[in-house]
Amino acid sequence: MLSVTVLIDGQGLQFDMATYTLEHLMDAGIDPKRIDYLFFTHLHADHILGYPEYAFMRSVWGATEPARVFGPIGTGNMVAGARQFNSVHIKALPEFMENVLSEGKNRGAQVEGIRRGFDSEVKEIDGGGVVLETDAFTVTATPVLHSVPSFAFRVDSRYGSVVVSGDTAPSLDVVDLAMNADVLIHEATLSELSWRGMNNIKLSEGLRSDYEKNRSGHTSTVELGKIARRAKVKKLVAYHLPTFASELASQQMLKTQLSSAPFSSTLKADHIAAIKRYYKDPLYLAEPMMVIKVGD
């Protein structure tokens, strides 16, 4: 699950949209219509479920230009699907707004703007390199190692650099992309305890291959420490960490297929200790509404 907003001089760049993205933006005092650029690392549900809500509310909040959306092949379909999902309300809203705006001087233009605010211009990306360059910032992408097409992104501006890994197995391309970055926001999906536990138990062929497949698209906490150290990043934010509850759920699930439970309960302190074996401070474990300043 991921949702990161990079603010540069009041302009918002959004990376993935997990559930509650809109609520968290509004709670943080960020006007949704200030976010004109959206980047999707990949199209797994835990990275896009907040998009249909955002896409709808952006126009309601007064956006009059289409959002620009970047993501892997399939992003166009996802965006079209969200529009279809919202179609009943989208159809009705301009008429409602027309009534509201009937006293306004540029009524026609305003209604037209509301319609445009529902739209998104999609650019699907199929390889690495610069995907967007403006006077204020440059966004560069690199493909990463996940079970579906997936990208890491780097933003450079006069304030510094931020890298978002997306979901990925440990990747030297991410190390290159993140070299000397001010902030690296990187996934860590496998706690050290669960990973070690899984490696030490007997699994059926099917379960082992499911596990290997899943493992191959994600990073462990210790591996994340190594990546951050190698890339010499100034701040590290770990996201996608297994929670205590999710580890217990996995344990329950596996209990039905295994004679002994492979997991120990994992706490925040374990994640921190595992990452810090290779990367010291400043380290943050991602939380809703967390604010990280880029640069000093």
Contact 13, 137 (CB under 8 A): yes
Closer residue to Zn ion (CB): 167 or 182: 167
Closer residue to Zn ion (CB): 161 or 219: 219
Stretch that binds Zn ion, among 10-18, 23-31, 42-50, 255-263 (CB under 5 A): 42-50
Q: Does 46 bind Zn ion (CB under 5 A)?
A: yes
Stretch that binds Zn ion, among 48-56, 86-94, 100-108, 160-168 (CB under 5 A): 160-168
Stretch that binds Zn ion, among 36-44, 244-252, 274-282, 285-293 (CB under 5 A): 36-44
C-alpha distances in Å from residue 82, one per residue of 48, 56, 88, 94, 129? 10, 9, 12, 18, 28
Tell me whether strands 67-72 and 35-39 are parallel, antiparallel or unpaired.
Answer: parallel
Taking the complex as a whole, how short is the minimal distance between the CB of residue 242 and Zn ion, in angstroms? Answer: 12
Kindly tell me which residue out of 16, 53, 167, 247 binds Zn ion, with binding defined by CB under 5 A.
167
Q: Is 146 helix (H, G, I), strand (E, B) or coil?
A: coil
Longest Cα–Cα distance of the chain, Å, equals 73
Contact 161, 155 (CB under 8 A): yes
Q: What is the DSSP string of 156-205?
A: EETTEEEEE--S-S--HHHHHHTTT-SEEEEE--B-HHHHHHHHTS---H
Closer residue to Zn ion (CB): 11 or 147: 147
Which residues from 81-100 bind Zn ion, rule CB under 5 A? none
DSSP letter for 219, please. -
Closer residue to Zn ion (CB): 46 or 173: 46
Closer residue to Zn ion (CB): 46 or 176: 46
Taking the complex as a whole, how short is the minimal distance between the CB of residue 24 and Zn ion, in angstroms? Answer: 17
Kindly tell me which residue out of 44, 154, 218, 235 binds Zn ion, with binding defined by CB under 5 A.
44
Count how many Cα atoms sit within 13 Å of the Cα of residue 99 in the half-sphere of its side chain.
Answer: 4
Taking the complex as a whole, how short is the minimal distance between the CB of residue 44 and Zn ion, in angstroms? Answer: 3
The residues that touch Zn ion, with contacts defined as CB under 5 A, are 44, 46, 167
